[in-house]
Structure 1
């Protein structure tokens, strides 16, 4: 009976450590996801600014072409 109890205690300890490790990994992944979402937002904003600048240049070039 004592061996069974020790075996159970050992398994519970392993589960506790495993859960703690998973929690740390989960926290790390959530932090990484948050950082990636912020980076994505900044890149989308830069992309939109670049798109607007290119569209503006195209309009100006067409205007110059029509004048010439």
Structure 2
């Protein structure tokens, strides 16, 4: 291999390394975003369950009042 070929290969390797580093950063950011979405989803499911329980309790009290 002559010098220009080696230089070209070195530049390609450098670009490949830079791309891998960029992809690793993006992957880390995407994993963090996914974790954030999962936490938010869990909170919303919990709030939904709480609201459902409160509504069911209100319906039960209303039915009890109707039967008096």
Establish whether TM, by shorter chain, passes 0.5: yes
- Distance in 1 between residues matched to 2:66 and 2:15, nearest whole Å: 74
Aligned length: 67
Q: RMSD of aligned C-alpha atoms?
A: 0.6
Gaps of 5+ in 2: none
Runs of 4+ in 1 over 4 A off after TM superposition: none
Task: Give me the TM-score of the superposition, normalised by structure 1.
Answer: 0.94
Task: Give me the TM-score of the superposition, normalised by structure 2.
Answer: 0.94
- Distance in 1 between residues matched to 2:51 and 2:67, nearest whole Å: 24
